[in-house]
Amino acid sequence: MLKVNNISFSYNRALTLKNIDFSISKGECLAIAGESGSGKSTLLKLLYGEYDLNRGFIFWGEHQILGPEFNLIPGPDYMKYVSQEFDLMPFTTVENNIGKFLSNEDLEEKQRRIDELVTVVELEEVAKTKVQYLSGGQKQRVALARALAKEPEILLLDEPFSHIDNLKKQSLRRSLFSYLKEQQITCVVATHDKHDIVSFADTMLFLHQGEAIAFDTPKNLYEHPKNSLIASFFDEFNEFKISEVTASEKFGVVIIYPHEIKLVPSSHLKVRVKQSFFNGDHYLIKADFNHRNIYLKHVESLKEGQQLCLEIDKSIIKKRASIFEDSFEYHRSI
């Protein structure tokens, strides 16, 4: 089990991470989400023992992870960290890079392992190519395979798909995360892209300005977003005052995703279409509601100026509204 016990850290005076506290079990995949600058990379580096903590502890089972003050070489054997800089050997082949840390005692076994990893990261076509001739995305995949070579117990990944084109990303994610689950490798992935992890992460930790604002399964966070920052990670979203979408005079706001809004022949919730954006299997419709923009999904584009009547399922409002009643959102005006 990875146990992060109330850690704080600062590069200089201000705290970069404040009181981060969570734990995950062996074989689980944790996503660290948050905006740029929220502290995701810093947290990964702390898990790897690259810096000394200001306070708190990190444990992997019985082993305490210590910073440079107590441990000159960061990164215990059981852990591998793939940073955003790949640090590969450019003048040698993909296979040699992946096999760099593998034993030469049994060359047949070594080649079998290299072939297996080349398949996991889908680099069969360039296995014998020198790394200097590869694209950024291919290099990133070599770095992933090399990190897996010696079967780490924990893998730390910093934006692991950032250089890989969309065409390859989907299948690479599926292949990599299935492999990690099969091998029961615990994984911590920092990302700001929901597609990287929503289908794969067991839990997500949301960072905002160095603080953990949520820790839960992706599904729970999506269905019960505690605030607009979390909702925005998943999708476009709308904020309605409770009084706008129910007959109640209650204070507070509810977050409603575009696909949760239905068009109906008549209702008190009237909007006017401003723009339709083609989005593959649907159009995202931007509409004016009391001089603010709201977004909904529709199968066809709609004419600018057209009036629409909207309906939102009561059960959705009820489930979301209860979250906000006591939170800071309560007094927020929109």
Judged by the rule CB under 6 A, the positions of this chain that interact with ligand ADP are: 11, 16, 34, 36-42
61 binds, among Mg ion, ligand ADP, none (CB under 5 to 8 A by kind): none
34 binds, among ligand ADP, Mg ion, none (CB under 5 to 8 A by kind): ligand ADP
> Of 143, 165, 166, which is closest to residue 90 (Cα–Cα)?
143
Nearer to ligand ADP, 38 or 97 (CB): 38
The rounded distance, in Å, linking the Cα atoms of 236 and 256 is: 9
Nearer to Mg ion, 40 or 298 (CB): 40
Query: Of the candidates 8, 41, 129, 175, which one interacts with Mg ion according to CB under 5 A?
Result: 41
36 binds, among ligand ADP, Mg ion, none (CB under 5 to 8 A by kind): ligand ADP
258 binds, among Mg ion, ligand ADP, none (CB under 5 to 8 A by kind): none
Nearer to Mg ion, 35 or 202 (CB): 35
The length of the chain is 334
Nearer to ligand ADP, 208 or 270 (CB): 208
Pairing status of strand 63-64 against strand 186-191 = unpaired
* Integer CA distances (angstroms), 330 to 146, 215, 244, 248, 290, in order: 49, 21, 15, 15, 20
Q: Least CB distance from residue 158 to Mg ion, whole Å? A: 6
Q: Least CB distance from residue 153 to Mg ion, whole Å? A: 23
Q: Least CB distance from residue 236 to ligand ADP, whole Å? A: 22
Nearer to ligand ADP, 39 or 76 (CB): 39
Q: Least CB distance from residue 199 to ligand ADP, whole Å? A: 22
183 binds Mg ion (CB under 5 A): no
The strand pairing partners of 157, in sequence order, are 82, 189
149 neighbors 113 (Cβ within 8 angstroms): yes
Q: Least CB distance from residue 181 to ligand ADP, whole Å? A: 25
Nearer to Mg ion, 40 or 141 (CB): 40
Nearer to Mg ion, 41 or 92 (CB): 41
Q: Where are the alpha helices (DSSP H) in the chain?
A: 40-47, 94-99, 107-120, 136-148, 166-183, 194-197, 218-223, 228-234, 242-245, 314-324
Other CB atoms within a 10 A radius of the CB of residue 115 amount to 13
Amino acid at 95: E
Q: Least CB distance from residue 69 to ligand ADP, whole Å? A: 17
23 neighbors 3 (Cβ within 8 angstroms): yes
> Of 242, 95, 84, 75, which is closest to residue 161 (Cα–Cα)?
84
Other CB atoms within a 10 A radius of the CB of residue 134 amount to 19
81 neighbors 144 (Cβ within 8 angstroms): no
* Interaction mask 146-175, Mg ion, x per CB under 5 A: ------------------------------
158 neighbors 44 (Cβ within 8 angstroms): yes
Question: Contact residues for Mg ion (CB under 5 A)?
Answer: 40-41
